Amino acid sequence: MGERVGIALVSYGSREVAMADAFLSSQKYDVELYIADRLRNVYNAKHSKEHAVIPALDNHDVTAFFAKY
């Protein structure tokens, strides 16, 4: 596999699941997803390296989640 990359993704719904799936399908990169979800999404929770549910997707809370990585 290729170079390892971490991707921060803020997920509001199903479009971001499609994005996550596309990122994970990369043959060029070894992708690690860090996802902040508005609602708990089973796909995102299963396939992300780190996952958090942040119902309001407040900028402060989202930034604090990603700052850990």
Judge whether 69 lies within some domain. Answer: no
pLDDT tens-digit profile of 21-32?
A: 999 999 999 999
What is the DSSP secondary-structure string of 27-41? Answer: SSEEEEEEEEESS--
Q: What is the pLDDT of residues 46-68, one digit of tens each?
A: 999 999 999 999 999 999 999 99
Which residue range forms the structural domain that includes residue 52? Answer: 3-62
Residue 67 lies in a domain: no
Domain count, the chain: 1
Whether 49 is covered by a domain: the verdict is yes
Q: Please indicate, yes or no, if residue 8 is contained in any of the structural domains.
A: yes
Whether 68 is in a domain gets the answer: no
The overall pTM is greater than 0.85: yes
